[in-house]
Structure 1
Amino acid sequence: MNRPKVYIDGKEGTTGLQIYERLGSRDDIQLLLIDEDKRKDLEERRKFLNEADLVFLCLPDAAAKEAVTLIDNPKTRVIDASTAHRTAQGWVYGFAELLPGQRQRIKFAGRVANPGCHATGFLSTAAPLTELGVLPRDYPVTCFSLTGYSGGGKKMIAEYEAPDRSPLLDAPSLYSIGLAHKHLPEMQKLAGLDSAPVFVPILGDIRQGMMTSVMLQNRLLNGSPTAQDICEMLSSYYEGQEMVRVLPFGGETPRLATSALAGKDYLTITVSGHTDQTLLTAQFDNLGKGASGAAVQNMNIMLGFPETTGLNMD
């Protein structure tokens, strides 16, 4: 049997490098590698894009849109890691566990949009609750998300790891305080909300790791469930999933660490609270289930490999 040909367009970026690390030693695919001196050559890229059975686009939004126009081989399937196509018609959202039938949609899709990292954390808890009819679509949702600096790419990594860096980087920082983060459209659409959540991300002095929290007033939810009820709902919703795991209610430690799942490719959900209020927290690696790990999971689904092949699930 011929091995599927896979090409990473943008292998030099943070996400592309992480995908390459997960694929480089696999013998069940044929990884196509462009010459370094030709990686920005349009015609050379076009050749690789059309030769591959599956392409990862690890590019800025505009470049990702351009890359799609270069593909005229109807058999070339695409996973786009940029923001460009996450709410676009004709593209399947690449979060297999999120909604009923989503894994099958990914399996047969020609175009898959890999989720944003903050969106992954938010949707993992909010989307099931709207799907179950517990979270009203007009609920005024608020969310905050702590993240490692590696998600900002090479420039931000260099800024944080410079020997003469600013001491202001030692402390967490709010960003996107204009409340217009680029992940909001997918967060609203995939969660089935009438309006976007009020969302603020927080950048920390850690290389990898992410923790996204949603806070709910239980009296405003349909049926007024307790926090424990919500934990049981989510546990049932994700039952049997390897890459999204709901932790037992009441077993949380006094602190949740942002970097707890750094280097891992799965996500855990902790449900805390009481009768009146609920805190939902997703912990994962911003470069794992939040980016490259999710992309490789989607590739495995699309090409018919066991879903966690090449991923760190320990």
Structure 2
Amino acid sequence: MGKTPKVFIDGKGGVVGARLYEQLSRRGDLEFLLIDPEKRRDVEERRKLLNEADLAILCLPEETAAQAVELVDNPNTRIIDTSPAHRTTPGWVYGFAELLPGQRQRIRFSKRVSNPGCHASGFLSTVAPLVQMGILPPDYPVSCFSITGYSGGGKDMIAEYEDPNRDPALAAPALYSLGLCHNHLNEMQHIAGLEYPPVFVPVLSDMYSGMATSVTLQNRLLRGAPTAQDICEMLQSYYQDQTLVSVAPFGSQGPRLVSNTMAGTDRLEITVCGREEQTLLTARFDNLGKGVAAAAIQNLNLMLGFPETTGLKVE
């Protein structure tokens, strides 16, 4: 590949940026452009580093990420944006390599890649293939609930949950985004190819990391009325030979699905439960792993020509 690629993480001080730097800095095949902490909000210093980078990873709030892209005038700087700013923007490639035919190749050659949202990753991993295969009608009234660890809420939420004098109510799971307009809905609908956004209810749990995103289906409304086991076998075939996304054997899950089983890994595992008439699809993964940081590293590897799973926990 020639010279060592220069990487700049804009927003390294946040939870996602810190996680990314921690994982990537263990490698010897990247050169990091580091900003003076006192200048992390200095627009001109950020502009300089963004344009020096071969690849910039934006770990910023949505509005700030959009502004950061405007600072880049070097045609050779490639960008991965972990914010929601560009997930359905024309000209940007959606950074979920396993999701759709040709997606891995689109990421590999793109200058602008948008990292998926964590809840959206779980939802899309099950719904998008079924739409792609013609099993799930695009006008199906999809419903989804997604249990997540509190680390996805950033430093303030982590501090709130880890405060020894915290509110006892935080020990119980809490539904949020009760207006049903979560900021992942747009990508969930459009990347999946649905005509309408799903009814989506996220659930905050008293665990640092981990995620379990579930979709329920009435099989009689699907093409051919497949059983839950049929759907499991279809998804196993769809994700055959993928390293970071897998489908558990039907009936192997036991009496319970624990939400944080995949915490600390960089993989996503789909479990299909149910019977002839109804199906429960659940994707479990680490909200900071395949939900954001691992996805960004996978995209970086593809864009810079490294083996796709370099630096990732694949076991």
Name the TM-score, length of structure 1 as normaliser: 0.99
User: Unmatched 5+ residue regions in structure 2?
Assistant: none
Q: Distance in 2 between matches of 1:308 and 1:70?
A: 30
Partner of 1:211: 212
Deviation, 1:38, is 1.3
User: Unmatched 5+ residue regions in structure 1?
Assistant: none
Matched to 2:206, the amino acid is: D
Correspondence 1:154-165 to 2 at 5 A: 154-165=155-166
Partner of 2:176: 175
Secondary structure of the structure 2 residue equivalent to 1:176 = coil
Q: How many residues are paired up?
A: 314
Partner of 1:86: 87
Name the TM-score, length of structure 2 as normaliser: 0.99
Deviation, 1:32, is 1.2
CA displacement 1:276-295 (0-9 Å, x = unmatched)? 00000000000000011100
Deviation, 1:36, is 1.2
Percent sequence identity is 66
Secondary structure of the structure 2 residue equivalent to 1:96 = coil
Deviation, 1:204, is 0.2
Partner of 2:280: 279
Partner of 1:28: 29
Q: Distance in 1 between matches of 2:15 and 2:227?
A: 40
Once the two structures are overlaid, the 10-residue window that deviates more, 104-113 or 248-257, is 248-257
Partner of 2:100: 99
Correspondence 1:1-314 to 2 at 5 A: 1-314=2-315
Q: Distance in 1 between matches of 2:32 and 2:248?
A: 37
Q: Distance in 2 between matches of 1:87 and 1:159?
A: 32
Q: Distance in 1 between matches of 2:32 and 2:264?
A: 23
Once the two structures are overlaid, the 10-residue window that deviates more, 30-39 or 41-50, is 30-39
Deviation, 1:37, is 1.4
CA displacement 1:179-222 (0-9 Å, x = unmatched)? 00000000000110000000000000000000000000000000
Matched to 2:127, the amino acid is: A
Secondary structure of the structure 1 residue equivalent to 2:84 = coil
Secondary structure of the structure 1 residue equivalent to 2:236 = helix
Q: Which runs of 4+ in 1 moved over 2 A?
A: none
Matched to 2:65, the amino acid is: A
Secondary structure of the structure 2 residue equivalent to 1:219 = helix
Secondary structure of the structure 2 residue equivalent to 1:56 = strand
Q: Distance in 1 between matches of 2:290 and 2:45?
A: 31
Secondary structure of the structure 2 residue equivalent to 1:84 = helix
Q: Distance in 1 between matches of 2:26 and 2:192?
A: 36
Q: Distance in 2 between matches of 1:197 and 1:105?
A: 26
Deviation, 1:312, is 1.3
Q: Distance in 2 between matches of 1:40 and 1:120?
A: 30
Matched to 1:26, the amino acid is: R
Secondary structure of the structure 2 residue equivalent to 1:205 = coil
Structure 1 vs Structure 2 CA RMSD: 0.6
Deviation, 1:41, is 1.0
Deviation, 1:40, is 1.2
